């Protein structure tokens, strides 16, 4: 076991320049959700180079490969990376900045893919020393509903072979490069979007008695929706109801016929999630009708809450402490952001952990989804190494199954 650990550490360090160039290639050539064709083709070429059998075109642009060790049918562990970029214009002078205007890897998916390819190369060199199969999953469209995870699952990605556990890593900017973080149980929120159209009667703003003002009505609805969390939610259940967009095509002296609103709902509890949906529709409709207007409410169901399996997460944390040292393993706080890895976690024991990418000394500390986002590329060594270590440990024939 110590020899394998040393091999992974040394090989990760030795692969740094190669994997850094892979990450920079992905960063220069971002592709949006469901458009990851060149990205998938690049990954396929790497699989061919590494001698890894693989299947392409899953759920459009998804790709999966298998690394078979001794007794490959005995066990299987899944490792997942997401592939898509965001519609953000990058602000950077780096030579690896995005070459595609209005598109950017601002959430670290370039790092996720590069680390998984690095782990694939490392584990290929170890396959005579573990028992079972590593399933490498490159998933499209994490950033856009309905999400690539559920589409890959429906396409059979969790079959032939079926993983016993599935693991994903995701960058985060509040951990230093070289550190990783864990959160057992509920970690990330469910996410839904709501769309409300208030239909009144437009007219001259100076004759309010002759109109049904949808702007005033929409304003009452916005205020009332905030009471769902402040006066209806159990205080111990994290909840968010936010209106992020209001469009009323009037003027200083013209009231419009209708106002459109859009917002988001986040929580951890599935029963309360459904109740929030019901309350949004009831509150908006009642206020509109009470003020003489009509109201249409549409709720788009997004990703469920991400719940990390406590047993798997605890075991990975212990393995991480062994590989990195306890000083480099952190405890995470819950987040109200969302991840479609939650669909995998609903079906298999799963864990999504965080990879630190900040370097305070170099000023690399921008938040995810910002136009200045970047990473300390030394984190690639940690990322590919720890993924390899987790897979190897899980498939070590001397280990008992994770409980």
At 285, list the tokens.
């409709």
**Interval 170-197: pLDDT, tens:** 999 999 999 999 999 999 999 999 999 9
For the segment 282-294, the average pLDDT, to the nearest whole number, is 98
Evaluated on CA atoms 394, 396, 180, 26, the torsion sign reads negative
CA dist 221 to 81, 191, 217, 300, 369, Å?
Answer: 40, 20, 6, 19, 29
Sorted by where each starts, the structural domains of the chain and their CATH numbers stand as: 2-187+305-394 (3.40.630.10), 190-300 (3.30.70.360)
**C-alpha 101: how far from chain center:** 23
CA dist 390 to 17, 109, 181, Å?
Answer: 22, 20, 14
* 35 contacts: CB under 8 Å, gap ≥ 6: 61, 84
* Confidence class for position 222, pLDDT limits 50, 70, 90: very high
At 186, list the tokens.
């509920």
Whether 224 has a pLDDT exceeding 90, the answer reads: yes
Answer whether 283's CB lies under 8 Å from 265's CB: no
The confidence score (pLDDT) of residue 362 equals: 82
84 counts as catalytic? yes
| Residue 140 burial class via C-beta count within 10 angstroms: exposed 0-12, middle 13-18, buried 19 and up | buried
At 123, list the tokens.
């584990």
The confidence score (pLDDT) of residue 398 equals: 64
| Residue 36 burial class via C-beta count within 10 angstroms: exposed 0-12, middle 13-18, buried 19 and up | buried
Distance CA 109, CA 97 (A): 14
Count how many residues are written for the chain: 403
| Token pair 């480099």: residue | 328
Catalytic residue among 36, 84, 339, 377: 84
CA dist 200 to 203, 216, 248, 260, 293, Å?
Answer: 10, 10, 11, 11, 5
* Confidence class for position 98, pLDDT limits 50, 70, 90: very high
Answer whether 276's CB lies under 8 Å from 237's CB: no
110 counts as catalytic? no
**Interval 45-66: pLDDT, tens:** 999 999 999 999 999 999 999 9
Whether 88 has a pLDDT exceeding 80, the answer reads: yes
CA dist 356 to 18, 45, 84, 388, Å?
Answer: 20, 28, 20, 17
The pTM (predicted TM-score) of the whole model is 0.92
The confidence score (pLDDT) of residue 363 equals: 84
**Interval 352-373: pLDDT, tens:** 999 999 997 888 999 999 999 9
Catalytic residue among 31, 142, 192, 377: 142
Q: 297 in helix, strand or coil?
A: strand
Whether 337 has a pLDDT exceeding 60, the answer reads: yes
Distance CA 264, CA 237 (A): 16
Is the bond preceding 161 in cis, omega lying within 30 degrees of 0? yes
Answer whether 106's CB lies under 8 Å from 91's CB: no
More confident residue, 316 or 2: 316
């Amino acid at each position: 076991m110590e020899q394998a650990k040393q091999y992974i550490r040394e090989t990760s360090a030795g692969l740094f320049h190669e994997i850094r160039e892979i990450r920079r290639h992905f960063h220069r050539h971002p592709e949006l959700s469901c458009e990851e064709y060149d990205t998938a083709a690049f990954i396929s070429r790497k699989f061919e180079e590494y001698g890894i059998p693989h299947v392409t075109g899953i759920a459009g642009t998804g790709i999966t490969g298998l690394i078979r060790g001794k007794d490959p049918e005995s066990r299987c562990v899944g490792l997942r990376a997401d592939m898509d970029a965001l519609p953000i214009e990058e602000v950077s002078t780096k030579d690896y900045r995005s070459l595609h205007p209005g598109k950017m890897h601002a959430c670290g998916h370039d790092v996720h893919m590069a680390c998984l390819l690095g782990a694939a190369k490392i584990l290929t060199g170890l396959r005579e020393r573990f028992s079972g199969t590593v399933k490498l999953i490159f998933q499209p469209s994490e950033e856009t509903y309905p999400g690539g995870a559920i589409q890959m699952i429906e396409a059979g990605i969790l079959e032939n072979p079926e993983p016993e556990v599935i693991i994903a890593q995701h960058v985060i900017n509040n951990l230093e490069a070289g550190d990783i973080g864990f959160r057992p149980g509920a970690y990330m929120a469910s996410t839904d979007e709501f769309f409300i159209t208030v239909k009144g009667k437009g007219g001259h703003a100076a004759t309010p008695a002759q109109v049904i003002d949808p702007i005033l009505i929409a304003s009452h609805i916005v205020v009332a929706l905030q009471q769902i969390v402040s006066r209806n939610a159990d205080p111990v259940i994290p909840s968010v109801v936010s209106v992020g967009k209001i469009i009323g095509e009037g003027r200083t002296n013209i009231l419009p016929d209708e106002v459109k609103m859009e917002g988001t709902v986040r929580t951890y509890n599935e029963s309360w999630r459904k109740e929030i949906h019901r309350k949004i529709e009831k509150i908006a409709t009642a206020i509109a009708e009470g003020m003489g207007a009509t109201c249409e409410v549409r709720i788009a169901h997004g990703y469920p809450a991400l719940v990390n399996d406590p047993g798997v997460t605890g075991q990975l944390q212990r393995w991480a402490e062994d590989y990195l040292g306890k000083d480099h393993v952190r405890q995470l706080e819950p987040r109200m952001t969302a991840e479609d890895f939650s669909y995998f976690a609903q079906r298999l024991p799963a864990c999504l952990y965080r990879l630190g990418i900040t370097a305070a000394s170099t000023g690399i500390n921008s938040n995810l989804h910002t136009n200045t986002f970047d990473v300390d590329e030394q984190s690639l060594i940690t990322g590919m190494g720890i993924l390899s270590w987790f897979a190897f440990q899980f498939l070590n024939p001397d280990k008992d199954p994770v409980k």
